[in-house]
Chain A
Amino acid sequence: MTKITAHELAKNQKEISVAEFFERNKHILGFGNQTRALITSVKEGVDNGLDACEEANILPDLYVEIKNHDDGECRVIIEDNGPGVIKKQIPHIFGRLLYGSRFHAIRQSRGQQGIGISAVVLYGQLTTGKHTKITSKAEEDRPAVVMELVIDTNKNRAEVINRDTLHWDKPTGTRIEVSIMADFKRGKKYVFDYLQSTSIVNPHAQIRYREPDGTEHIFERTSEVLPRKSIEIKPHPYGVELGTLVKIAKHTKARQLNSFLKTEFSSMGDRTTNAAIEKAGLEKTMKPKEMTREQFLALNKAFKKVKIMAPSMECLSPIGETLIKRSLKHETKEISPEFIITASRPPAVYSGQPFQIEAGLVYGGNLPKEEPVKILRFANRVPLLYQQGGCVTTQAITSIDWRRYGLSQPSGKGIPTGPAIFLTHVSSTLIPFTSESKEAIADVTEIENEIKLAFRECARKVQHHIHKKVKRAKTREKFDLITKILPEIAKKSAHMLNKPVPSLDPIITKIMDVVWIEDLIEYERIDRAIVQTTLSDEAHEEQKGGTITKSRIIVVNYKNNPQEFNLYAIIPEDAVVGTVTPKPIKIANNYIKWKLDSIPPANKLDVNFELAGLDKGDFDENDLYIENINPAFVIGADKWEGE
């Protein structure tokens, strides 16, 4: 056997382009089989469209169409009303892998790596040999650009096959048409589920979807407000790895170590900067560009020993409880669920990356009672459809004993059974996916704990709700008794004896022997501006018209002595408080508090408040609490346990 020299071997050693790499490893990107390929293609296109619209402050209007050919080839068309892509960027964005604007930014966004849409183009050309057609219009008064392209996998560059212009009705927008080999028959349900789920967590988006047979589905917009834009932040010292630290130092403009730490990282003030430098045994005045590897290592270790504030949460853009509830309500209309409950955790941090958990629970109605609950998982407003079992969300849900909360769950572990849908949304600057196909979130302790806490909160609310329902039914009975039956008994007995009908009030007080609280909620559409109530009478803020939620609370004293107590009404945090009568003594961001005047026996008191900034049905149930009175005397409100 002849010996082969290193020089000879070197002849065969060459760079592998990323495009070539992905060509061979398409399963990593979610193109493992023809069903998955279809969903991944739709998903990448939709994510791209939504991100583009949001960045340009445009309410997204998406159009998705799939054309199916008999030989297994599908043409996937995705169109958005985003800002469009300028001509010279089209080949880069659609024809180059790992090219994008969001990779380096630390903030919440759907796509990050810049693989997604170009991977679809690549998959299309690999399986069908056809070009991808991009239509894009970036300026309202200019025609749209039409470009057909393929990816040169050796160079990881687009090769433009054809260029044209076109008159397009849209002011701006982008349309991609790509042919792929895909299994529509099997993928059909998943595509629908994906789009429906997307609509749930993106209430500001409208998605129109046309299936090959011409069936059209419209997932309507339920919110006219764009999500708060996430703001890019600097890396947090807790999450920085040594290599990154060295790299940042190499490119920094800061000349001294202390200013370097303060300018290049988030949450670093004078105190923490000095503490870190001291712990690392370094000097404030050192030049970052001249530091050694050992010094950086010491600094990196020192970060972990210093208490540093959590990063700013402006980089996150959670959906919000009201919107999740509204979306779920809209999408589950046909199921007519008994109730929808949401919970939102405060932001938290894992390895220096901020994240926040939101959870929702739909219960009852026509949901199947004998099947495992349906779990909807979302990460940065993107539905996760596969690998449910390997996801931290599932792990968190299955570790809760749901039997205590009225769902069945053999041995108190595993996915519970019952008429429910669970929803989790993880927002983060960096979602720790288990793989590049972004289908499951890795097992991160901090995230798992937060998800558990969110669901426990939901479960508690469920219990509270059921408890309230039972109580209300009982209350209703008593009310029927005193308002309908008792007067009839009196009337009938008087009639038989030819006597006047006796007075009922003292008997009612004796039978009831409680303070009775009842409420009703009405909605009114108005055009006038509403007056915002704050405690310092001066601050009036004008709000434009919309729906006013009017809540009326009726308090009746059926005790035989006067009653005086405090009343609390819970309100959604995102609501604006309008007119309130009588005057409350406190308006917090999530409740209103009254100190009620003394109510004489058999008298009643009306308490009213208005809420703006909510849609009809967002606030459909009062949650009332009382203080300074024996809770056993009160029907219709619970004891105030403090905030």
Chain B
Amino acid sequence: MKKDYSEVINKIDSVASKIYDDFEKIEIPSLNLPTRTKANIKFDDKYNVWKYGAGTTERSAKSLDGAYMLLRTMYMVDFIKEMIKIKKSSTLREMYYISEGWDLAKFHSQQESNLLAEDLEVITSCMREDFKLRPEEDGARVIGNITIEEVTRNNTKKKIHCQDDVGDSGYSIPYNVEPEKITFKNIDADFVIAIETGGMFDRLAENNFDTSNRAILVHLKGQPARSTRRFIKRLCAEKNIPVLVFTDCDPWSYRIFASVSYGAIKTAHISEYLATPSSQYLGVTPSDIENYDLPTDILTKEDINALKSELTDPRFQDSFWKGEIKLQLKLGKKSEQQALAKYGLDYVTDTYLPEKLTEMGILKK
């Protein structure tokens, strides 16, 4: 499928025009973009996800930092325009290295160039893919009774069954999961379970949880990549299948859930593409620590600060999260998914998950 880039070019040019016009009008050159912080995310009723609010940040040539940002922005849009013209794409990391040749505009870390790429998405309401930029990391792994049709690099369509056609590590989600790249064919499962750690994903695979409980296992690999989130979102929306998130029991894991379910703060401009509002948190919850008497670690200072910060995060304002976070602060403890092994290797698949899933109404007794 060939993409039409003329709209993207228009949007990119409008960024350059804004700056150029400022010079012409004797205004200090500047760009405005939504403030990308926790304080500026609002719930969007239409999409049921969290998006940026009305707060804006000005990047102005009045300050040295602002001027550098504008110069980098100019270089980046020029670079993107060039890539579109010559029909190439680059990874974010490649772009970071290309910026080495941008003289004054070069980035000091990839973090900086990634953030600016996101800023550009926000300013132009285009997607990273429109800019011919792709992430470094591939998506995570999938095992389950589902057939995916993928357009390979040789432009041939290939059907992959995520149990029969894959090894123990499962199907690997590509960076592009848009319909022009992958489509979902046959699916015969009751729910998707998204798992934070590789160890737990492998435990469920080894114990054949996908077949015994008609589940699709998705590995999140920590904070999930955009393509993983987009994959889950499409799967849920197109196949109408419930999504459950299974993580460690600490503040950082709750943020993983939030980014899957509500949208991440950094990518709130495209939350409706990435977030799966109907997904539910399965565990491990602070209540589980008590109910299952799990082995624990003591919360560090950073953990406590992160939990307190979540109490003021608009995404965690419902009674479930408020109750659980407060409970955890009271316990002063955290735990891991794999702590369930305390009761044996099969405990998680034979006891814990069935109990939790039943409790949540996913499994019937």
**Which A residues contact B (CB, under 8 angstroms)?**
477-478, 480-481, 484-486, 488-490, 492-497, 499, 502-504, 506-507, 510-511
In the complex, chain B residues whose CB is within 8 Å of the CB of A503: 23
CB distance from B77 to the nearest CB of A (A): 7
Q: Is B24 positioned at the interface, with any CB of A under 8 Å from its CB? A: yes
Q: Is B296 positioned at the interface, with any CB of A under 8 Å from its CB? A: no
A492 touches B23 (CB 8 A): no
**Which B residues contact A (CB, under 8 angstroms)?**
13, 16-17, 19-20, 23-24, 26-29, 61-64, 67-68, 70-71, 74-75, 77-78, 81, 103-105
* Docked complex Cα distance between A477 and B104 (Å): 13
Q: In the complex, what residue of chain B is closest to A492 when comparing beta carbons?
A: B74
Residue among B29, B62, B68, B74 making CB contact with A496, cutoff 8 Å: B74
A496 touches B81 (CB 8 A): yes
In the complex, chain A residues whose CB is within 8 Å of the CB of B77: 496
A-B contact count (CB 8 A): 72
B16 touches A507 (CB 8 A): no
Residue among B27, B62, B105 making CB contact with A488, cutoff 8 Å: B105
Q: In the complex, what residue of chain A is closest to B68 when comparing beta carbons?
A: A485
**Contact A484 B64, CB 8 Å, known A493-B19, A493-B23, A506-B26:** no
B64 touches A502 (CB 8 A): no
* Docked complex Cα distance between A611 and B61 (Å): 40
* Docked complex Cα distance between A397 and B78 (Å): 62
In the complex, chain B residues whose CB is within 8 Å of the CB of A477: 64
User: Could you list 5 examples of A-B contacts with CB < 8 Å?
Assistant: A478-B64, A485-B68, A492-B74, A494-B20, A496-B16
B26 touches A492 (CB 8 A): no
B104 touches A495 (CB 8 A): no
CB distance from A497 to the nearest CB of B (A): 6
B67 touches A485 (CB 8 A): yes
* Docked complex Cα distance between A287 and B103 (Å): 92
CB distance from B196 to the nearest CB of A (A): 43
CB distance from A471 to the nearest CB of B (A): 15
**Contact A489 B24, CB 8 Å, known A495-B78, A496-B78, A496-B81:** no
Q: In the complex, what residue of chain A is closest to B24 when comparing beta carbons?
A: A502
Q: Which 4 A-B pairs have the closest CB atoms?
A: A502-B23, A492-B74, A496-B16, A493-B20
CB distance from B229 to the nearest CB of A (A): 33
A497 touches B20 (CB 8 A): yes
B64 touches A507 (CB 8 A): no
A497 touches B23 (CB 8 A): no
In the complex, chain A residues whose CB is within 8 Å of the CB of B24: 502
* Docked complex Cα distance between A41 and B13 (Å): 84
B26 touches A510 (CB 8 A): yes
* Docked complex Cα distance between A493 and B103 (Å): 16
Q: In the complex, what residue of chain B is closest to A480 when comparing beta carbons?
A: B64
**Contact A492 B13, CB 8 Å, known A481-B61, A507-B23:** no
Q: In the complex, what residue of chain A is closest to B26 when comparing beta carbons?
A: A506
B17 touches A492 (CB 8 A): no
B28 touches A510 (CB 8 A): yes
**Contact A481 B74, CB 8 Å, known A486-B61, A488-B104:** no
A497 touches B61 (CB 8 A): no
* Docked complex Cα distance between A537 and B235 (Å): 92
**Contact A493 B64, CB 8 Å, known A488-B104, A499-B20, A507-B26:** no
In the complex, chain B residues whose CB is within 8 Å of the CB of A478: 64
In the complex, chain B residues whose CB is within 8 Å of the CB of A506: 26
* Docked complex Cα distance between A502 and B17 (Å): 12
Residue among A486, A490, A492, A510 making CB contact with B78, cutoff 8 Å: A492
* Docked complex Cα distance between A504 and B29 (Å): 11
A489 touches B29 (CB 8 A): yes
* Docked complex Cα distance between A502 and B27 (Å): 12
B71 touches A497 (CB 8 A): no
